[in-house]
């Protein structure tokens, strides 16, 4: 370890975090933290409150892991200690105890960042927009080591927007494989961190050992390949690593924010390797999935002392945080933080205040139904008048109208009767139309993507 001084270590981590986080987030969550001590490879960091500890551990694990890796501190563990509470040192096996009669114990088979402890497949909430990616992740674990099947999932390439769960699925695959065979050599590798490691190796004119280090693994989890575009030498090294692993039947899982064919600046031969197996995308979760994610989140041990969250609060959070799972979980944590700060149970009033403080928007500012209906008509290339008034069972009119009804309910939480009055229809017809859209979204990934994109563009 470069230093045993807690202040020096923490300064290195802070510097890395300052480059990743928005200034406001850094000031709010990182700046108040202070280093306490280093013992047995663990840096103890004091945080001002239990809510701050919860936020850091739930919302910033990837940022902290990146800061550790980029600072050359990948083996350093972090423990966050709430100011004013007794600190209990974690049990860390001594080097002496790690040896057996036959000699030193082998190195741990996996190098997952320890802050990713909650990234397991059983904690991933599946929705219509993530069914294929989750099924593929599960299949990689279940079929590992068995006879080859006609459907190749090597490499498995998972893509989608930030905060939707790509890294969660990837690490979950690694952990699932290790449960099946603890002897497997599994490595998690983020492209930016590989670039930093390679830069050091190039300066030392000693890149071959680094390449071999990654080629000897059974499973490679390669995260965030969309950053490869401007890294010529990094692309070359990763190509040789992938080529070696694929030739020897080793499993590779890759994540990106875009599909292989849209990766700008990547060599064609590398894109070809990315596309050899199965490509699966993750879309933003729909309303029902967002509610399920919130409820699953509240089952975490970190939330065991949190007062019950009323259903209307969960509904409000699910309606306001549509962009990503990280946004959704972050809003939930902020509501809990705000409630604890003022000493009251979580309530709709607290949720409104948390939303306004985070976004600067009035939480109750409604989106007018006409805007929803007009944007739906424009998306489906039908006239607004025909959408609202034309009596037709033709799909060219019927489907856009059903989608418009679904979006009005999803975005503005309008009563069925109010939506029905806009179209001069009975509320039961509206209910059936919305159910029809939901059913089709579950069956048709392309339709689900289209409706979700329209929803996000309106909100």
Is residue 95 one of the residues assigned to a domain? no
Give backbone dihedrals phi and psi of 160, rounded to 5 degrees, phi first.
165, 175
Q: Are residues 119 and 247 in the same domain?
A: yes
Q: Are residues 51 and 128 in the same domain?
A: no
The dihedral formed by the CA atoms of 79, 81, 87 and 91, expressed in degrees to the nearest 10: -10
Is residue 153 one of the residues assigned to a domain? yes
Is residue 77 one of the residues assigned to a domain? yes
pLDDT at residue 81, as a whole number: 87
pLDDT at residue 304, as a whole number: 78
Angle, CA 265 vertex, CA 263 and CA 268 arms, to 5°? 75
Q: Are residues 74 and 132 in the same domain?
A: no
SS (H, E, C) 206-272: CCHHHHHHHHCCCEEEEECHHHHHHCHHHHHHHHHHHHHHHHCCCEEEEEECCCHHHCCCCCHHHHH
**What is the value of pTM for the model shown?**
0.72
User: What token pair was written down for 236?
Assistant: 């070359």
Q: Are residues 222 and 305 in the same domain?
A: no
CA-CA distance, 1 to 8, in Å (whole number)?
12
Say if residue 128 is exposed, middle or buried (CB neighbours under 10 Å; 0-12, 13-18, 19+).
buried
The domain spanning residue 338 has which CATH number? 1.10.8.60
pLDDT at residue 94, as a whole number: 43
pLDDT at residue 3, as a whole number: 63
CA-CA distance, 314 to 324, in Å (whole number)?
15
Last residue of a domain, one of 240, 265, 282: 282
Q: Are residues 170 and 277 in the same domain?
A: yes
pLDDT at residue 124, as a whole number: 93
Q: What is the DSSP letter of 116?
A: G
Q: Are residues 160 and 240 in the same domain?
A: yes
Q: Are residues 379 and 438 in the same domain?
A: yes
CB 235 within 8 A of CB 228: yes
Report the binding-site residues for ATP: 163, 165-167
pLDDT at residue 446, as a whole number: 79
The domain spanning residue 410 has which CATH number? 1.10.1750.10
Is residue 274 one of the residues assigned to a domain? yes
Is residue 107 one of the residues assigned to a domain? no
CA-CA distance, 266 to 191, in Å (whole number)?
13
Q: Are residues 243 and 350 in the same domain?
A: no
pLDDT at residue 86, as a whole number: 56
CA-CA distance, 372 to 176, in Å (whole number)?
43
pLDDT at residue 106, as a whole number: 42
Q: Are residues 276 and 295 in the same domain?
A: no
Q: Are residues 276 and 303 in the same domain?
A: no
Is residue 97 one of the residues assigned to a domain? no
Domain count, the chain: 4
pLDDT at residue 256, as a whole number: 93
pLDDT at residue 84, as a whole number: 66
CB 219 within 8 A of CB 249: no
**What's the domain range around 375?**
369-458
Is residue 109 one of the residues assigned to a domain? no
Per-residue pLDDT of the chain (459 residues; tens, 9 = 90+): 456 788 999 999 999 999 888 888 888 888 899 998 988 888 999 988 877 888 888 888 888 988 888 888 888 889 898 876 655 544 444 444 344 444 443 444 456 787 888 899 999 989 888 889 999 999 999 888 776 665 678 899 999 888 889 999 999 999 999 999 999 999 999 998 888 889 888 988 888 888 888 999 999 999 999 988 878 889 989 999 999 999 998 999 999 988 998 888 888 989 998 988 899 999 888 888 889 999 988 888 878 778 888 888 898 888 888 778 888 888 898 888 888 888 888 888 888 888 876 654 554 455 788 888 988 998 888 888 888 887 767 778 889 999 999 988 887 778 888 899 999 889 889 999 999 998 888 888 778 878 877 876 676
Q: Are residues 452 and 387 in the same domain?
A: yes
Q: To which H or E segment does residue 284 belong?
A: none
CA-CA distance, 65 to 73, in Å (whole number)?
9
CA-CA distance, 115 to 77, in Å (whole number)?
8
44-to-4, 82, 143, 410 alpha-carbon distances in Å: 12, 10, 40, 44
Report the binding-site residues: 163, 165-167
């Amino acid at each position: 370890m470069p230093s045993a001084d807690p202040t020096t270590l923490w300064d290195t981590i802070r510097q890395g975090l300052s480059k990743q986080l928005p200034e406001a987030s850094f000031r709010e969550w990182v700046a108040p933290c202070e280093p306490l001590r280093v013992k047995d490879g663990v840096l103890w960091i004091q945080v001002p409150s239990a809510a701050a500890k919860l936020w850091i551990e739930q919302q910033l694990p990837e940022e902290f892991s990146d800061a550790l890796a980029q600072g050359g501190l990948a083996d350093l563990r972090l423990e966050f200690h709430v100011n004013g509470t007794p600190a209990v040192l974690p049990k860390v096996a001594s080097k002496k105890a790690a040896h057996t009669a036959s000699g030193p114990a082998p190195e741990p088979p996996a190098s997952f960042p320890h802050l990713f402890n909650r990234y397991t497949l059983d904690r991933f909430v599946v929705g219509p927009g993530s069914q294929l990616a989750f099924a593929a992740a599960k299949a990689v674990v279940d079929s590992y080591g068995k006879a080859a099947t006609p459907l190749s999932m090597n490499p498995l390439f998972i893509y989608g927007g930030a905060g939707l769960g790509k890294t969660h699925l990837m690490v979950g695959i690694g952990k699932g494989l290790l449960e099946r065979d603890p002897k497997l050599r599994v490595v998690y590798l983020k492209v930016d961190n590989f670039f930093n490691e390679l830069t050091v190796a190039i300066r030392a004119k000693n890149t071959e050992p680094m390449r071999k280090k990654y080629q000897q693994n059974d499973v490679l989890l390669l995260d965030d390949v969309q950053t490869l575009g401007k890294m010529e030498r990094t692309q070359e090294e990763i190509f040789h690593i992938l080529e070696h692993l694929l030739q020897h039947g080793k499993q590779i899982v890759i994540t990106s924010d875009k599909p292989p064919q849209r990766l700008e600046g990547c060599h064609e031969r590398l894109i070809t390797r990315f596309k050899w197996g199965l490509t699966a995308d993750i879309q933003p979760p729909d309303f029902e999935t967002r509610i399920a994610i919130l409820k699953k989140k509240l089952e975490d041990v970190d939330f065991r002392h949190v007062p019950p969250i009323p259903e209307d609060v969960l509904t409000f959070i699910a309606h306001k945080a549509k962009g990503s799972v990280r946004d959704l979980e972050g809003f939930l944590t902020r509501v809990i933080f705000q409630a604890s700060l003022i000493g009251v149970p979580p309530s709709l009033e607290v949720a409104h205040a948390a939303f306004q403080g985070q976004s600067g928007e009035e939480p109750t500012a409604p989106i007018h139904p006409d805007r929803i209906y007009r944007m739906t008509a424009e998306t489906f290339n039908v006239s607004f008048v025909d959408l609202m008034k034309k009596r037709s069972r033709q799909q060219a009119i019927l489907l856009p109208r059903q989608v418009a009804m679904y979006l009005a309910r999803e975005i503005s939480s309008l009563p069925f009767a109010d939506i029905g009055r806009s179209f001069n229809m009975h509320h039961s017809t509206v209910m059936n139309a919305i159910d029809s859209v939901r059913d089709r979204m579950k069956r048709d990934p392309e339709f689900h993507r289209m409706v979700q994109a329209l929803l996000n563009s309106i909100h």
